[in-house]
Chains A and B, each alone.
Chain A
Amino acid sequence: MKYPTQKIALAYFACALVLFAAQVTFGLVVGYIYVDPNFLSELLPFNIARMIHTNALVVWLLLGFFGAAYYLIPEEAERDIESPKLAYAQLILLMVGASGAVIGYLFRIHEGREFLEQPLWVKLGIVVAALMFLYNVTMTVLKGRKTAVSNVLLLGLWGVALFFLFALYNPDNLTVDKIYWWYVVHIWVEGVWELVMAAVLAFLLLKLTGVDREVVEKWLYVIVALSLFTGLLGTGHHYYWIGTPAYWQWIGSIFSTLEVIPFFAMVVFAFVMVWKGSRDHPNKAALLWALGCATLAFFGAGVWGFMHTLSPVNYYTHGTQVTAAHGHLAFFGAYVSLNLAIMTYAFPYLRGREPYNQVMNMASFWLMSGGMAFMTFTLTFAGTIQTHLQRVNGEDFMSVQEQLALFYWMRLGSGVAVVVGALLFIYALAVPRREIVAPGETAGAVPAE
């Protein structure tokens, strides 16, 4: 850690991990309600539990992004964060909002649109927190060295804040409501968040592989260009069946199919940089998470997204468990893994140690990734059967769901693996014991070059 204010990241990451634990725990509850529908049905109905599961996810990912920014901006800008006090005040505001929202949800206090259930005061708090953040990091960057990594990261986070403003607009006409609801939901996860992802990934590869900055940054611009060129009009794949014009079926199908390309480019980018890199960085767990992030994002967002994005396919699969399968692997691969990668990389520096608990951390990677992959497969099978029985044969929704019970049991099992993996990950970072694997004699006593 070269700059003292990078330490801010530690507080953000710690809060993010607490919410991560809450998110997967509520995920387990929701998964259990699927197999035992009477469970807690009075105290904690499905809709409330799911709200906490999804909201906790979004908030902890954002806290992770903010933490990542506070960690890497000083190194990129070569100066300390403008105002650490403002950064901590921002964190307190976000945590008050997040805990207020969750407690409110338990008492049925919420707004009613999916993912945007936060009461108005929390939404406004998020806007204020975003402004505090943007002021702080923008000033830091403006007064310091400007790099592609910090430019793209800042642009992404400015986009996050700007598009969130559409969350405040809720017209009475459901079709119009949905058009702008997607301005937040789609343009976040398939637009500006990808900028954050590419920038953080570029930073990690820069540090872990030692590849020349010029090369990394050129890749970065190409990838984020591909993301926005495809992702903006790719919003069209949500405008097929909500009362919007038919031309979206063409635009959405074509551009959202092309959305696979930036994710593929990120995989190639990550692996090529590692192959070309000369640096033997001791933090192997961070490298595993970074490569895993690019790979799982390609499968979750890219391949599983493409599976049901063409409008003639989506006509049958829209709103089935196929969507749930895609959603889980896409979020895990792209954004959960990204956050866990930067945390794994930064924690040893933030705590002034050599990389520690590497084996435990890598075990948590395989446990979480394996669990999430299995969950994706089971939900894909469930969704395929559901599509046939319900959308082709026209069978009643509830009787179809009862026939899917086996898959929901298997999904619950994979969820247990994910929760255990998540707790293991948190333990590996939070409790630095003595486990430090000394680098062995590599077979290459012969120099690689």
Chain B
Amino acid sequence: MNEGLTKTQARNIFYGGSLFFLVIFVGLTVHSHLYALNTSTNNDQLTESVAAGKRVWEKHSCINCHTILGEGAYFAPEVGNVFVRYGGLDDPEGARETLRAWLVSQPSGVEGRRQMPNFNFSDQELDDLIAFLEWVSKIDTQNWPPNDAG
């Protein structure tokens, strides 16, 4: 250890430097927050249905099996781009139908295959959840994931 550094100096560097980096971090957060609202997400298309869909997503703690934008439990497929994977770019209505059919047909009951519970979604919940997944698929994620497999 540098013999020239005293404990008091080390302490002052710690307090001063930490405050410095905290201020920069908070400043960049504010910028990122505005960037999310104005640029990278379609905040104007964040309808009541999309918001309700996020609550459906949370109500069943989907994130403790799936990932969304790469964050979650790695046990079940990525859903940030599931709308794209189901062909939603070319045929949004078809993708919605396929997703809906898939969600209500769980669990598959196939032996040795991971099981998704049946959550007894109402029609409204299905509409909202799918609206949420569609909205999420349009977030500008710097081209992540690398391919449709998620």
Whether B46 pairs with A232 at a CB distance below 8 angstroms is: no
Contacts of B75 in A (CB 8 A): 34, 46, 50
Residue in B closest to A53 when the chains form the complex, CB atoms: B64
Whether A114 pairs with B139 at a CB distance below 8 angstroms is: no
Number of A residues contacting the other chain (C-beta, 8 Å)? 73
Q: Which of A163-208 contact B (CB under 8 A)?
A: 172-179, 183
Q: How far is the CB of A197 from chain B (nearest CB, A)?
A: 15
Contacts of A315 in B (CB 8 A): 144, 146
Whether B144 pairs with A179 at a CB distance below 8 angstroms is: no
Per the bound structure, the CA–CA distance linking A221 and B13 in Å amounts to: 8
Per the bound structure, the CA–CA distance linking A179 and B71 in Å amounts to: 12
With A221-B13, A251-B28 in contact, is A47–B64 under 8 Å at CB? yes
Residue in B closest to A215 when the chains form the complex, CB atoms: B1
Whether A176 pairs with B147 at a CB distance below 8 angstroms is: no
User: Does B97 belong to the interface (CB within 8 Å)?
Assistant: no
With A42-B117, A174-B41, A221-B11 in contact, is A391–B32 under 8 Å at CB? no
Whether A112 pairs with B57 at a CB distance below 8 angstroms is: yes
Q: Which of A290-340 contact B (CB under 8 A)?
A: 315-316, 318-321, 323-324
Q: Can you identify 22 A-B contacts, CB atoms within 8 angstroms?
A: A38-B111, A38-B113, A46-B114, A50-B64, A50-B73, A112-B62, A114-B71, A148-B7, A148-B11, A172-B50, A173-B37, A175-B139, A222-B10, A224-B14, A225-B10, A228-B18, A229-B17, A232-B22, A243-B36, A243-B69, A245-B35, A246-B142
Whether A243 pairs with B140 at a CB distance below 8 angstroms is: yes
Binding site for B on A (CB under 8 A): 34, 36-38, 41-42, 45-48, 50-51, 110-114, 117, 148, 172-179, 183, 214-215, 217-219, 221-222, 224-225, 228-229, 232-233, 235, 238-249, 251, 315-316, 318-321, 323-324, 390-392, 394-398, 400-401
Contact digits for B55-84, partner A, Cβ 8 Å, 1 yes 0 no? 101111111110111111111111000000
Whether A179 pairs with B29 at a CB distance below 8 angstroms is: yes
Q: How far is the CB of B21 from chain A (nearest CB, A)?
A: 5
Q: How far is the CB of B115 from chain A (nearest CB, A)?
A: 4
Q: A315-B144, A394-B146 are in contact. List 15 more A-B contacts (CB 8 A).
A: A37-B114, A38-B113, A45-B117, A47-B62, A112-B55, A114-B73, A174-B139, A175-B36, A179-B33, A225-B18, A228-B21, A232-B22, A240-B142, A241-B142, A391-B145
Query: In which size bucket is the chain B interface?
Result: 35 or more
Whether B139 pairs with A233 at a CB distance below 8 angstroms is: no
Per the bound structure, the CA–CA distance linking A238 and B29 in Å amounts to: 12
Q: Which of B135-150 contact A (CB under 8 A)?
A: 136, 139-142, 144-150
Contact of B36 among A113, A173, A233, A238 (CB under 8 A): A173
With A225-B14, A241-B142, A394-B147 in contact, is A218–B77 under 8 Å at CB? no
Per the bound structure, the CA–CA distance linking A324 and B73 in Å amounts to: 9
Per the bound structure, the CA–CA distance linking A179 and B60 in Å amounts to: 22
Q: How far is the CB of B1 from chain A (nearest CB, A)?
A: 7
Per the bound structure, the CA–CA distance linking A244 and B32 in Å amounts to: 6
A-B complex: 4 closest residue pairs judged by Cβ atoms: A112-B58, A319-B70, A47-B64, A241-B144
